[in-house]
A = this chain, B = another copy of it.
Amino acid sequence: MATTAPVPNPEADPRVKAVFDDIRTTRKTAFINNLWHALAFSPDLLASTWAEVKALMATPSHLDPLTKEMIYIAVSVANACSYCVHSHTAAARAKGMTDAQHAELLAIIALAARTNHLANGLQVPVDPAFDAAAVRGEA
């Protein structure tokens, strides 16, 4: 069950086919996961979403691929996105995340949630030392 009806033969639309082809080429797999199938109801939304995912997640950059997946998982957990937690945990494993790293990732996410709620509950004012213009900052 989803909020859009499945598109019967999505690749009949050349814009959808172009994106799906690029996903398959970029990821070196024939597998197209459900998010892209669901987005096929709007080729524009499909194309703009994939363009940004490819640019940030499938292109060499200043952060290594596994770190990027772990950041993605952290946001997805905090936003309670069940689909994204599943898909990006699978992606992180495919990029080499070990059980020990997974456990530590979850522990840090949980710790951050804990102190986020403490700080929001205490309504602690931000230290001037944390201002980006200040010389040093520590937490």
A65–B82 CA distance with the chains assembled, in angstroms: 27
| A interface list, Cβ under 8 A from B | 1-6, 27, 29, 31, 33-35, 38-39, 41-42, 44-45, 48-49, 52-53, 55-57, 61-63, 67-68, 70-91, 93-94, 98-133, 136-139
Known: A130-B87, A130-B90. A39 touches B111 (CB 8 A): no
* Copies of this chain, tallied across the complex: 6
CB-contact partner of A85 in B3, B84, B89, under 8 A: B3
The interface residues of chain B lying within 8 Å CB-to-CB of A68 are 104, 108
A33–B90 CA distance with the chains assembled, in angstroms: 24
| A121→B90 contact, CB < 8 A | no
The smallest beta-carbon distance between A128 and chain B, in angstroms, is: 7
The interface residues of chain B lying within 8 Å CB-to-CB of A5 are 132-133
| 11 pairs, A vs B, C-beta closer than 8 Å | A31-B136, A33-B129, A34-B125, A42-B103, A62-B100, A71-B112, A81-B117, A83-B119, A83-B126, A105-B121, A109-B117
A106–B80 CA distance with the chains assembled, in angstroms: 17
The interface residues of chain B lying within 8 Å CB-to-CB of A1 are 86, 123, 125-126, 128, 130-132
| A62→B101 contact, CB < 8 A | yes
